[in-house]
Chains A and B, each alone.
Chain A
Amino acid sequence: MRLLKLVPDNTNIGFVRVRFIAFVITALLTIASLAVVGARGLNMGVDFVGGLMIEAKFQTVPQLDAVRSNIDGLGVGVSSLQQFGDPKTVSIRLPIPESSDEGATNAVVSKVSASLVKQFPGVTFTRYDTVSGKVSEELIQNGVLAVILAVLGIAIFSWLRYEWQFGVSTFVAIVHDVLMTLGFFALTQLEFDLNIVAAVLTIIGYSINDKMVIDDRIRENMRKYRQMDMKALIDLSVNETLPRTVMTSVTVMLALGALLLFGGHVLRGFAAAMMLGIVVGTYSSVYVSSSLLITLGLEPQRFSAKPKESRPDAERVGPQP
Chain B
Amino acid sequence: MLDFPRWKVWSICLLLAAGILLSLPSFIPESTIERAGLHGLPRINLGLDLSGGSHLMLEADTTDLAKQNIAKMEEQVRTEMRRADPPIAIGDISTTGGRLSFFVRDASRIDAAVERIRTLTQPSGMTGQRDWDVQVVDSTRIVLTPTKQGLAQATDSAMQVATEVVRKRIDEMGTREPTIIRQGAERIVVQVPGLQNPAALKALLGRTAKLEFKLVDLTADPAAVAQGRAPVGSEVVAYAEPGQAPIAVKRRAMLSGDELIDAKLSYNSQTNEPVVSITFNSEGGRKFARVTQENVGKPFAMILDGKVLSAPNINEPILGGQAQISGRFTTDSANQLAIALRSGKLPVALKVVEERTVGPDLGADSIRAGTLASVIAVVGVVIFMLVSYGRFGFYANLAVVINVFVILGIMALLNATLTLPGIAGFVLTIGTAVDANVLINERVREELRRGRSPTQAVEHGYKEASRTIFEANVTHAIAGLIMFVLGSGQVKGFAVVLLIGIATSVFTAVVFTRMLVALWLRHKRPTSIHI
Contacts and interface: CB of A to CB of B under 8 A. Distances in A.
Interface of A: 1, 3-6, 9, 55, 57, 100, 102-103, 105-106, 109-110, 124-132, 134-135, 139, 142-143, 145-146, 149-150, 153-154, 157-158, 161, 194-195, 197-199, 201-202, 204-206, 208-209, 212-213, 215-217, 220, 240-241, 243-244, 247-248, 250-252, 254-259, 261-264, 266-267, 270-271, 274, 315, 320
Interface residues of B, number: 82
B474 A266 contact: no
Q: How would you classify the secondary structure of chain A's contact residues: helix, strand, loop or mixed? A: helix
B373 A258 contact: yes
A149 B482 contact: yes
Given A135-B353, A251-B384, A266-B420, A217 B491 contact: no
B384 A254 contact: yes
A225 to B, nearest CB: 14
Interface stretch (B38-46, B320-328, B430-438): B430-438
Nearest to A214: B468
B423 interface: yes
A146 B483 contact: yes
A248 B435 contact: yes
Interface of B: 49, 57, 59, 198-199, 202-203, 206-207, 351-359, 361-362, 365-366, 368-370, 372-374, 376-377, 380-381, 384-385, 387-390, 420-421, 423-425, 427-428, 430-432, 434-435, 438-439, 442, 445-446, 449, 456, 464, 467-468, 471-476, 478-480, 482-483, 486-491, 494-495, 498, 530-531
A254 B377 contact: yes
Contacts of B361: 124, 126
B358 A198 contact: no
Nearest to A1: B390
A262 B372 contact: yes
Contacts of A103: 203, 206
A252 B431 contact: yes
Contact of B353 (A134, A217, A241, A248): A134
Given A212-B472, A255-B431, A262-B373, A142 B479 contact: no
Nearest to A313: B463
A259 B425 CA distance: 11
Given A109-B199, A129-B355, A244-B439, 12 more contacts: A3-B388, A4-B387, A55-B362, A110-B199, A142-B486, A150-B483, A194-B490, A201-B482, A202-B425, A254-B381, A255-B428, A315-B464
Given A3-B390, A150-B479, A255-B430, A262 B369 contact: yes
9 contacts: A109-B199, A124-B359, A130-B355, A150-B479, A213-B472, A216-B471, A254-B377, A263-B427, A320-B456
Nearest to A210: B472
Contacts of A157: 474-475, 478
B117 to A, nearest CB: 34
A130 B352 contact: yes
A102 to B, nearest CB: 3
Nearest to A101: B206
A198 B468 contact: no
A226 to B, nearest CB: 19
